[in-house]
Amino acid sequence: MSRENDIEKKSARIPAIVWILLLACQLRSAAVTVRFENLQVDRDSYLKIAQNLVNGNGYCSTVGQPTAYRPPLYPLLVAVCIQMGGTIALAIVQILLGTATVWLTWLLAERCRFSRRTGLLSAVLVAVDPLLIEYTTQAMTETFSTFLVTLLLVVILQDGREQSRGLLVGIVFGMAALCRPTIWIFGGLAAFGWFLTQWLHPSPSGMPVFRAKSWHLKTACACAAAVAMTVSPWVIRNVCQFGRPILTTTHGGYTLLLGNNEVFFREVVAPGHGATWNAASLSEWQAENERHLKRMGIAETDEVSRDAGFSRLAEEWIVNNPLKFVRACRLRFQRFWAIRPSVPAGFPALLVQFVGAYYLGNFVLAAVGGFRSRQMWRKYWVLPAMVLALTLVHLVYWSNARMRSAIVPVISLAVASAFQRPGYHDGSIPCEVATER
């Protein structure tokens, strides 16, 4: 009996966040075990690029043809995993990154001065999130990107010396951009928001006045220098290979055209939200694009020109069909925030219904939490700015529910805030992106 009491006392001393992290790790481990073969499916050529890096063939998916079609950070991580132990090592890293994201979500709740229970609830929601668990089993950027985005938000809101924090924010932001370039839109919004909150001050007349302090400039320069330092190897490599300073990838033109063309509108947008693009039609559309590029004199191996050509085709369609473009944007918004993500054929229908109910409940509670804690969201404006940035990107570019995986921690925080006790959030520390200490 005394031994059982000792065990109970030891269990009581273990912090609740540790149990949540164990839950997250177990769920992801079980998913990876059941769907281990998914990690060997190369949907986006990350495995090919990583294997070529390991083999000494350079950054390419086809030997002898350098590529900038995919951002570099995830293939580099996969290459390290291949060297360490192959698919098993990749599985372990994916599980650890997903589990670490749960811990970072808990830290993010602390940075926002939420109660302990609210922070733990937000961590639980990330631990059990179906999207995050599913993409832990796939060799794609979602797991790594979500970890980096959550880390970036934690770093932005942490206490510390401004210049040191600016450097750290710049490094983490640069890494996030090298993993998923869509983060650049958030960078622009955050820079603008920081300018408004830190550099503009009200005057006696009520008009904003620009007042820059030395620490403003030092922090901005430190952050910009860190971003440049982090992404410059990728840009320099692209200058050497393609003769142009490619900051993102050569994939953007295709993803822009994929959701902004007449065939997509006719077969997917016009019929309604539930319509899918017929495989035969998609294949024919892709073949026609290849013929069009060939008539333009663009070779299949010329990634840069192909990217520009796809962008021109998409831009022409948007300009010539503004109302259709608006309808396509509405569909992309619906897909980005879909409560039932698209799933492979044969997936249990009951599980799909459960996931739909889970996300519907989450979104309703997130709206309640956002309203109840609206003062907090105004102070910690970088959180809604991240949600807004990714939503705006995928209004224009190709979109589906997995694209929102990086903001699941923020959504979970909003859900948990619906249960926050009124008046708990004391707001004692201003929560702008940067605060004078």
One-character DSSP codes across 313-376: HHHHHHHH-HHHHHHHHHHHHHHHT-SS----TT--HHHHHHHHHHHHHHHHHHHHHHHHTHHH
- Report the range of poorest mean pLDDT among 53-62, 159-168, 394-403: 159-168
On the question of pLDDT at 154 being above 60, the answer is yes
Q: State the pLDDT at residue 5.
A: 52
- Of 119-123, 266-270, 324-328, the poorest mean pLDDT is in 266-270
Please check whether residue 146 is in contact with residue 390, taking contact to mean a CB–CB distance below 8 angstroms. Answer: no
Residue 58's pLDDT is what?
94
pLDDT at 21: 97
Contacts (Cβ under 8 Å, ≥6 apart) of 134: 31
The pLDDT value recorded for residue 413 is 95
In this structure, what token pair is assigned to residue 153?
Answer: 């938000």
Residues 6 or more apart whose CB falls under 8 angstroms from that of 191 comprise none
* Rounded Cα distance, 95 and 30, in Å: 10
Q: Look up residue 432 and give its DSSP letter.
A: S
Q: What was the pLDDT predicted at 426?
A: 43
The 10s digit of each residue's pLDDT in 198-236 is 665 554 555 454 455 555 678 888 899 999 999 999 999
pLDDT in tens, 169-204: 999 999 999 999 999 999 999 988 887 776 655 545
Query: Is the pLDDT assigned to residue 7 strictly greater than 50?
Result: no
The confidence band for 428, taking pLDDT boundaries of 50, 70 and 90, is: very low
Sign of the CA dihedral with 229 first, then 104, 412, and 114 last = negative
Assess whether pLDDT exceeds 90 at residue 105: yes
Residue 436 has pLDDT above 70, yes or no: no
At 15-49, the pLDDT tens digits run: 899 999 999 999 999 999 999 999 999 999 999 99
Mean pLDDT, rounded, for 121-150: 96
- What is the percent of the chain where pLDDT is above 70? 86
CA angle 407, 125, 166 (to 5 degrees): 40
Q: How many residues does the structure list for the chain?
A: 437
Q: How many of the other CB atoms lie within 10 Å of CB of 30?
A: 12
Per-residue pLDDT, averaged over 339-363, amounts to 82
The angle at the Cα of 246, spanning 243 to 247, to the nearest 5 degrees, equals 155
What's the CA gap between 243 and 343, in Å, rounded? Answer: 40
Digit-coded pLDDT (tens) for 383-414: 999 999 999 999 999 999 999 999 999 999 99
Is pLDDT at 68 greater than 90 in this prediction? yes
Reported as a single tens digit per residue, the pLDDT across 254-310 is 999 999 999 999 999 988 766 788 889 999 999 999 998 888 888 888 999 999 999
Q: Is 181 exposed, middle or buried (CB count within 10 Å of its CB: 0-12, 13-18, 19+)?
A: middle
Taking the model in full, what pTM does it have?
0.90
Provide the pLDDT for residue 35.
92
